[in-house]
């Protein structure tokens, strides 16, 4: 009996989403005679039945397109804003699933999407996921699609900033995406020859960074490039965060936990100005004119690289094979040149962070890059 599958994209957009949709859809339609239904704007599309039928004409020509033809959102099934209130819309999603006689829902997304997909699986739906995010922080997969393209974009930006930094003898601070994980800033910083790289996994001190830049200046190198992940924290901020999280976990009273949660939220809010403050502090400490460039959503856009198209296509086709084999409740993870089905329960509550002894970290130190911790 022919199967009916639903597919959605959730969380932030990234290059390769359309390639993944095509990778799932073409074999589903042409080899397995499945019906393929797209739901617009993430999980909200399942709640409100925002349907888009995906046939071969729709899938044709989207391989090289950035973004997602289905649209996306960060809405969570169990905490979705509706009518001025936040509601659990899981039952509405279940109703949509059964109304269209779906055999599976495929969710393309990052860490948050994996958690939300697991909740739907636990609610009784057949679910499969694909790992996408420019942050490359989804657990249990070698790499996520979207990362390679964003890495190239960030590296090219650093390349371009070298010329203006050199011409004006400046410090150029480049803010790169990566709220919890530093893969993108670390990779782009190494590939772009940044002199300082700051990532969330390695707390830094401004004094250490300023010292490294001053040393360069004394050696006759009158410019420096500082690549900073948006989630990078000073050692003081990191220590305070860790302490508050421990206190929150140990707190027995709800009011105490809420108060500590508010303090943690304030630290998160203050992060938004971290790179601006860092830029001013470096100029003050070194006496060298400093400028800040925030790459922002530029890193999410554009045509996916060949590597991302290939990765998204092979994970998409592997997903369709899993549907045909009726294997559900898993993420299709990248493993070498192949793929592996990993249970969602093993993925949903983990994040792949940069280990302090990772080969990229070791290489950065060996070429003299300052990571802010020494």
Domains, the chain, with CATH or none: 4-145+304-346 (3.40.50.450), 151-300 (3.40.50.460)
Within 8 A by CB and 6+ apart from 370, the residues are 195, 196, 197, 208, 209, 212, 213
Nearest in space to 17 (alpha carbons), one of 75, 71, 77:
71
Angle between helices 183-191 and 359-366 (to 10 degrees): 40
Q: What is the pLDDT along the chain (374 residues), one digit of tens a residue?
A: 689 999 999 999 999 999 999 999 999 999 999 999 999 999 999 999 999 999 999 999 999 999 999 999 999 999 999 878 899 999 999 999 999 999 999 999 999 999 999 999 999 999 999 999 999 999 999 999 999 999 999 999 999 999 988 888 999 999 999 989 999 999 999 999 999 999 999 999 999 999 999 999 999 998 999 999 999 999 988 888 888 888 888 888 888 988 988 888 887 777 778 899 999 999 999 999 999 999 999 999 999 999 999 999 999 999 999 999 999 999 999 999 999 999 999 999 899 999 999 999 999 999 999 999 97
Query: Would you state the pLDDT for residue 1?
Result: 67
Which one, of 92, 129, 87, 97, lies nearest residue 112 by Cα?
129
Q: What is the pLDDT of residues 341-360, one digit of tens each?
A: 999 999 998 999 999 999 99
Q: Is 98 exposed, middle or buried (0-12, 13-18, 19+ CB in 10 A)?
A: exposed
Q: What is the DSSP string of 11-79?
A: SS--TTHHHHHHHHHHHHHHTS--EEEEETTTHHHHHTT-EEE--HHHHTT-TT--S-TT-----BTTB
Residue 237: the pLDDT is 87
What is the model's pTM? 0.94
- The active-site residue out of 13, 41, 103, 135 is 135
CA distance 296 to 293: 9
CA dihedral 309, 313, 319, 320 (to 10 degrees): 150
Active site residue 135: yes
pLDDT at 222: 84
pLDDT in the model for residue 197: 98
Exposed/middle/buried for 74, CB within 10 Å: 0-12, 13-18, 19+? Answer: middle
Using alpha carbons, list the distances in angstroms from residue 251 to 177, 240, 245, 262.
33, 16, 10, 14
pLDDT at 318: 98
| Distance, CA of 355 to CA of 80 (rounded, Å) | 34
């Amino acid at each position: 009996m022919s199967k009916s599958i639903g597919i959605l994209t959730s969380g932030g957009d990234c290059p390769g989403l359309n390639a993944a949709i095509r990778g799932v859809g073409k074999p589903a339609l042409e080899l397995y005679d499945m019906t393929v239904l797209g739901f617009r704007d993430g999980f909200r599309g399942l709640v409100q039945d925002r349907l888009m039928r995906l046939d071969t004409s729709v899938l044709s020509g989207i391989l090289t397109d950035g973004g997602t033809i289905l649209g996306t959102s960060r809405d969570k099934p169990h905490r979705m804003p509706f009518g001025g209130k936040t509601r659990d819309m899981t039952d509405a999603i279940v109703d949509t699933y059964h109304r269209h006689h779906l055999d599976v829902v495929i969710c393309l997304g990052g860490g948050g999407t994996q958690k939300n997909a697991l909740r739907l699986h636990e609610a009784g739906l057949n679910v499969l996921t694909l790992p996408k995010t420019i942050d490359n922080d989804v657990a249990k997969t070698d790499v996520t699609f979207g990362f390679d393209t964003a890495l190239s974009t960030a590296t090219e930006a650093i390349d371009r900033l070298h010329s203006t930094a050199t011409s004006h003898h400046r410090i150029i601070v480049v803010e790169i995406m990566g709220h919890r994980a530093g893969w993108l800033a670390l990779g782009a910083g190494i590939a772009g020859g940044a002199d300082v790289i700051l990532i969330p996994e390695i707390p830094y001190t401004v004094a250490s960074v300023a010292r490294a830049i001053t040393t360069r200046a004394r050696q006759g190198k009158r410019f420096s490039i500082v690549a900073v992940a948006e989630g990078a924290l000073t050692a003081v901020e990191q220590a305070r965060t860790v302490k508050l999280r421990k206190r929150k976990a140990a707190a027995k009273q709800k009011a105490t936990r809420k108060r500590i949660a508010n303090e943690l939220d304030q630290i998160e809010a203050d992060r938004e100005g971290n790179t601006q403050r860092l830029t001013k502090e470096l100029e003050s400490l070194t006496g060298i004119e400093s400028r800040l460039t925030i790459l922002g959503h530029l890193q999410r856009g554009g045509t996916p690289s060949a590597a991302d198209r290939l990765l998204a296509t092979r994970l998409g086709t592997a997903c369709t094979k899993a549907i045909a084999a009726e294997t559900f409740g898993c993420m299709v993870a990248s493993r070498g040149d192949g793929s592996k089905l990993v249970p969602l329960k093993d993925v949903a509550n983990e994040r792949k962070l940069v280990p302090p002894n990772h080969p990229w970290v070791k290489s950065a130190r060996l070429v003299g890059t300052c990571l802010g911790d020494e």
